[in-house]
Each structure stands twice: as structure tokens, then as C-alpha cells.
């Protein structure tokens, strides 16, 4: 009887491992395909004469790149139900800083171990991409500074903060980037706030629902 049970457990373990292997493989393929699209968009952007069109395609390429990073990270561990956002933030901060090529801007990280549902990972990555991208692009027009990214658990959810000590928004109107941040926060059932304390911009994304 005990032998039967042990054999059955072994069978289930093998089936689970096979399923996880399959998930990892699909994810790897999705990542490669997204990287392919990202490269195509970049190549096309380089052929554009119009500066605005070139810039728009370049930022779109970065957005696709952010989603590709999610798929590079999904299902890397054994746990297929949770996605570690701290690792994602570390990866993305490195990529964005490198792409921005600003030696005078430092990114600091304060990351607690927070996991979210895999389905929330792509919107989360896009929000992060826009907020950090904005700080790199707009906060330091004529001198360097610091961008601080933190994530912590709070009220059964998480709080993501992206702040900089740059020039501040000065009443700038939101364009496409911040419009999609608002839409994605709704999708994540998160509350987005720009907190006016100190110099620069401090964006706070708070969700009680998607963290585990």
C-alpha cells in the first residue's frame, strides 16, 4: 500500500516537473520572439528621418524590451505561481541605466522580497519602465542625480516607489507614457500618486490586491 502511494507521488512529481519544463520552454520562446520584435522596431527607428517618429519608435522598442525582460524572468524558479519582482526591478534598473548612458545618474535600490501573480508581471514591468524611463529622460537635463527605487510589503500588498532628486514636473502635462501608467495601474488595481515632498518627482504605486 505504502509502495503504491510512493509510486503515485513520484508519478505526480514527474508530471509536474514536465509541466514546469514546458512552461519554461514556451516562455523562452515568447522572450525570443519579443526580442525579435524589439530589434525590428529599433532597426526601423534608425531609418526614420523625422526626429519625433524616431524617438516614438525607440521608446516603443524599450517597452517591448521591458516585456521581454519579464519573460526572461518568468518561471525561472520552481514556483510557477509567483513572480519575484525584486529580481525584475534589479534587471530592469540595470538595463535602463545602461541604455540611458548617463554616468552622472545613480540608481539606488531598496528591495524587499515581494512576489506577484505572473499575470501581473508585464503591466508591473511597463509601469516601472515608464517611471524610471521618465526620471532618466526628464529629471536631470543639465546635471546628474539619484533615482531611488524601492519596493516593500504593506497592508497585504506592495508599495513601489520611484523617486528622483531632479528638476521636478513643474506642471508638465501627461503624455502617452503617463497615460499608459494610469491605465496599467487600473489593471493592477493599484493606486498611483505623485507625492510632492522634497525636490524632484516621487511616484508611489500601492496595491492591496495582487501581491502574495
Ligand X SMILES: Nc1ncnc2c1ncn2[C@@H]1O[C@H](COP(=O)(O)OP(=O)(O)OP(=O)(O)O)[C@@H](O)[C@H]1O
Mask of contacts with ligand X, 60-99, x by CB under 6 A? ----------------------------------------
Instruction: Name which of 155 and 193 has its Cβ closer to ligand X.
Output: 193
Please list every residue from 102 through 131 that binds ligand X, using CB under 6 A. 130
Three-class DSSP category at 171: coil
Angle at which helix 121-134 crosses helix 85-100, to 10 degrees, equals 40
Query: Which residue of 109, 177, 204, 206 would you call a contact of Mg ion, by CB under 5 A?
Result: 177
Closer to ligand X by CB, 80 or 150: give it: 150
Residue 210 interacting with Mg ion (CB under 5 A): no
* Site for ligand X contains 1 (CB under 6 A): no
Taking the complex as a whole, how short is the minimal distance between the CB of residue 74 and ligand X, in angstroms?
A: 25
77 binding Mg ion? (CB under 5 A) = no
d(C-alpha 11, C-alpha 89), whole Å: 37
Q: Which of 38, 61, 129, 134 binds Mg ion (CB under 5 A)?
A: 134
Q: Are 147 and 136 in contact (CB under 8 A)?
A: yes
The residue range among 3-11, 33-41, 134-142, 203-211 that interacts with Mg ion, by the rule CB under 5 A, is 134-142
* Contacts of 139 by beta carbon, 8 Å cutoff, 6+ apart: 145, 147, 164, 165, 166, 167, 168, 200, 201
How many angstroms from the chain centroid is the CA of residue 61? 14
Q: Output 77 or 177, the one with its CB closest to ligand X.
A: 177
Characterize 115-132 residue by residue with b for buried, 16 or more Cβ atoms within 10 angstroms of its Cβ, and e for exposed.
Answer: bbebebbbbbbbbbbbbb
Residue 199 CB neighbours (<10 A): 13
Query: C-beta of 166: minimal distance to ligand X in Å?
Result: 5
Q: Does 52 bind ligand X (CB under 6 A)?
A: no
**DSSP single-letter state for residue 128:** H
Residue ranges in contact with Mg ion by CB under 5 A: 134, 177
Residues that bind ligand X (CB under 6 A): 59, 130, 134-135, 137-139, 164, 166-169, 172, 174-178, 201
Amino acid at each position: 500500500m505504502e509502495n503504491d502511494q510512493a509510486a503515485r507521488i513520484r508519478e505526480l512529481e514527474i508530471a509536474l516537473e514536465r509541466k514546469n519544463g514546458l512552461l519554461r520552454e514556451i516562455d523562452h520562446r515568447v522572450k525570443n520572439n519579443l526580442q525579435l520584435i524589439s530589434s525590428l522596431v529599433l532597426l526601423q527607428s534608425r531609418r526614420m528621418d523625422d526626429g519625433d517618429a524616431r524617438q516614438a519608435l525607440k521608446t516603443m522598442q524599450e517597452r517591448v524590451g521591458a516585456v521581454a525582460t519579464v519573460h526572461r524572468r518568468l518561471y525561472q524558479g520552481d514556483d510557477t505561481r509567483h513572480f519575484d519582482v525584486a529580481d525584475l526591478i534589479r534587471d530592469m534598473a540595470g538595463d535602463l541605466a545602461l541604455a540611458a548612458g548617463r554616468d552622472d545618474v545613480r540608481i539606488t535600490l531598496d528591495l524587499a522580497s515581494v512576489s506577484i501573480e505572473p499575470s501581473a508581471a508585464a503591466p508591473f514591468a511597463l509601469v516601472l519602465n515608464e517611471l524610471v524611463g521618465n526620471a532618466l529622460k526628464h529629471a536631470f537635463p543639465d546635471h546628474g542625480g539619484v533615482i531611488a527605487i524601492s519596493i516593500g510589503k504593506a497592508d497585504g500588498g506592495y508599495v513601489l516607489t520611484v523617486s528622483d532628486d531632479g528638476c521636478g514636473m513643474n506642471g508638465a502635462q501627461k503624455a502617452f507614457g503617463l497615460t499608459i501608467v494610469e491605465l496599467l495601474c487600473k489593471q493592477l488595481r493599484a493606486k498611483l500618486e505623485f507625492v510632492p515632498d522634497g525636490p524632484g518627482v516621487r511616484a508611489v504605486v500601492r496595491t492591496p490586491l495582487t501581491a502574495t
